[in-house]
Structure 1
């Protein structure tokens, strides 16, 4: 079975990004794809900020990525770039930690004005980490994700369709 790691760069567990995470994990489950999720905000903050490569939590998270065939990266857009918390984790991956992996970026932003965040901010960093197969990312506007309760969400049909297409293309590559 194909193994996928999901790196979530949301700053907390209440982000609308979790609506996308739930949607993606349900798709993977339906297809019988094994996956593990790394919620970066749950890793020790001191280890992230101080770049503690010897941290047991960081080592475990890196092992999840290392054993994966595919990596899904979820991040909100802040100040026209991916989240800082995601960057702290990416900085702790080994130099070629994404080599031979298929990558799917999934971005959540306030407007389509930040659509190019994938190509101009995130993809270059992924390439430096050895990623050569980066599937077309999916950009979702946060207004397309409705909060329906405590950490539950509904994603509108257009966004669902684009996410489905993105995941299908990603899975064909792995």
Structure 2
């Protein structure tokens, strides 16, 4: 079936967030999907902070996003905002048309 990238986007290895993502992974795997776990903390932090889209280390991550049929992102939200650790690398990804995607969460968060 589909290949789904499961992104852990918290600044720490929050047991609740990771546990929730692994639960979603198991449910989707049981439905025949291939799950690819990815921890955003594994990226070097200096490239996204400089908005360096040609830095060599984020390229494999961009390839993971590009090759996935779907993406599940789990990250804690504090003061109605997601972590900069998650946002900075996502801002470097190419913009895609998500109009046909099923988006969870609040509409303003999905569009941000």
TM range (shorter): 0.7 to 0.9
Instruction: Give the alignment's Cα RMSD to 1 decimal.
Output: 2.1
Count of paired positions: 112
Gaps of 5+ in 2: none
* Alpha-carbon distance between aligned partners in 2 of 1:100 and 1:119, rounded to the nearest angstrom: 12
* Alpha-carbon distance between aligned partners in 2 of 1:20 and 1:70, rounded to the nearest angstrom: 17
When normalised by structure 1's length, the TM-score is 0.56
Runs of 4+ in 1 over 2 A off after TM superposition: 98-106
CA deviation after TM superposition for structure 1 residue 31, in Å:
2.0
**Alignment partner of 1:124 is 2:111:** yes
Gaps of 5+ in 1: 107-117, 126-174
Q: Which of the pair has the greater relative contact order for Cα pairs under 8 Å at 6+ separation?
A: 2
When normalised by structure 2's length, the TM-score is 0.83
**Alignment partner of 1:63 is 2:50:** no
Contact 1:72 1:105 in 2 (8 A): no
Structure with more strand by fraction: 1
